[in-house]
Chain A
Amino acid sequence: GAGVSQSPSNKVTEKGKDVELRCDPISGHTALYWYRQSLGQGLEFLIYFQGNSAPDKSGLPSDRFSAERTGGSVSTLTIQRTQQEDSAVYLCASSPRQGRSYEQYFGPGTRLTVT
């Protein structure tokens, strides 16, 4: 079956511009996670969605970052007024149900470069 998909695969933007990154989780998966992979910080958690519940935003690095998930499916991560330190690979993962022990399935990522 289809895995997690993300678009675009690559995005180059100028400092100060806003960007939107999209994630399509595996059909039927209720949990969705965003992570960021950067040279300086490694892999770090950003935000978590579970069904229609309020998201856990504890990993977002600043208020320039926001995310939404429409209809419990597709998610969009938005970065406003991008900075060079936002350059990273943004990974999305989905999980078949909430809670313990269920592995996360990752998409291929979006590589963001801020010039």
Chain B
Amino acid sequence: AQSVTQLGSHVSVSEGALVLLRCNYSSSVPPYLFWYVQYPNQGLQLLLKYTTGATLVKGINGFEAEFKKSETSFHLTKPSAHMSDAAEYFCAVSDPANTGFQKLVFGTGTRLLVSP
């Protein structure tokens, strides 16, 4: 069974500082990997995804993530935090071997706090 671990339920950074949100997965095969963002009282918005190809993927709002198979990680980074980045971030995986549908397995989420 697949699982996702997000280290740190809360991460605090100052505006302009580097953002690093950690995600590690457990899977018998390399999964598809996703980062979603959730603003208060809103649904989930896809930031970026990795399926195949280049292991460094760029997403919206200046975020990027790198798939490292040897470390089973898919950490999310942004060089310079903005106040508007304050939200909850979810890492998710799905199984490429599943034909027919892509059930997402989510981590527990990391709340990003950005201070002026």
**Which A residues are closer than 8 A to B by beta carbons?**
4, 31, 33, 35, 42-45, 48, 50, 56, 59, 91, 93, 95, 98-109
Contacts and interface: CB of A to CB of B under 8 A. Distances in A.
B34 A59 contact: no
B102 A107 contact: no
18 contacts: A33-B104, A43-B90, A43-B104, A44-B106, A48-B101, A50-B100, A95-B102, A98-B101, A99-B99, A99-B100, A99-B102, A100-B98, A101-B51, A101-B52, A103-B46, A107-B43, A108-B42, A108-B43
Given A42-B108, A101-B32, 18 more contacts: A31-B101, A35-B104, A42-B107, A42-B109, A43-B90, A48-B101, A48-B103, A56-B101, A95-B102, A99-B100, A100-B102, A101-B52, A103-B49, A104-B102, A106-B36, A107-B43, A108-B43, A109-B43
B83 interface: no
Contacts of A45: 103-105
Interface residues of B, number: 27
A105 B102 CA distance: 13
A43 B4 CA distance: 11
Given A59-B103, A99-B99, A106 B51 contact: no
B44 interface: yes
A10 B105 CA distance: 25
A90 to B, nearest CB: 11
Interface string B37-72: 000011111100101100000000000000000000
The dominant DSSP class at the B interface is: loop
Contacts of A106: 36, 43-45
Nearest to A108: B43
B96 interface: yes
B52 to A, nearest CB: 8
Nearest to A49: B101
Nearest to B105: A45
Contacts of B102: 95, 99-102, 104
Contacts of A99: 99-102
Contact of A50 (B42, B43, B101): B101
